[in-house]
Amino acid sequence: MSISERRWILLATVLLTGCQPEAEIRQYVAPAEFEQMLTSDLIRDRFASVPFRWSVPSAWKTAQNDQFSQFAWTTGGSGATRITVTSLPSTAGVAPQVARWAGQIGLEGAAPADLMQSVEPLQVNGMAGQWVELAGPSETILGMLLTYKDKIWVVKLRGASAEAAAAREGLRSFCESWSAG
């Protein structure tokens, strides 16, 4: 290939590819949803997974979380008695939670007023909670529902009635050990 042929090819290549227009740079500014001074309490409340400290009974063994729980343990001889810690929006309410638990252990037909007889007030280091004891035909659910800021913190023990009865004092002690911060 001669030099003149190479020049024609080079010129044709430059002409065919040409110069592209300069790319535009677009800039967007989104308005802030809110401006807020972040204090250590606000940071903890917003970003900490659980704003509490507690003492776990030595008989409990760490277990795999389910899709809802943030912490889970098992206890008892069978290893099937399960304790979980979960948070719900405060709008979830105590009565619907108790009714849901009742259904889980075979108490579907119980009247809501009768179910609420299973709930007693529980003060936990200055925080208001409820202690729940529901006994079904073969299983029992024990638990605490603690309202803190904009959430209900749920501690639930579910297991065979005999194992749940044996674990009751340990669960109650665990619930009463909760402290904020």
pLDDT tens digit string along 73-104?
999 989 899 999 999 998 888 999 999 999 99
Segments making up each domain of the chain, as ranges: 52-180
Tell me: pLDDT of 111 over 90. no
Helix or strand (DSSP H, E) at 154: strand 151-160
N-term to C-term CA, the chain: 82
Structure confidence at residue 4 (pLDDT) = 75
Q: What is the CATH number of domain 52-180?
A: 3.40.1000.10
CA distances from 117 to 5, 17, 122 (A): 99, 82, 14
Structure confidence at residue 20 (pLDDT) = 60
Tell me: pLDDT of 40 over 50. no
Tell me: pLDDT of 22 over 90. no
The whole-number average pLDDT for the span 25-34 is 67
Residue found by looking up tokens 């299983």 in the block: 139
| Mean pLDDT for all residues in the chain | 85
The tokens for 4 are 């003149």
The whole-number average pLDDT for the span 110-137 is 92
Tell me: pLDDT of 112 over 90. no
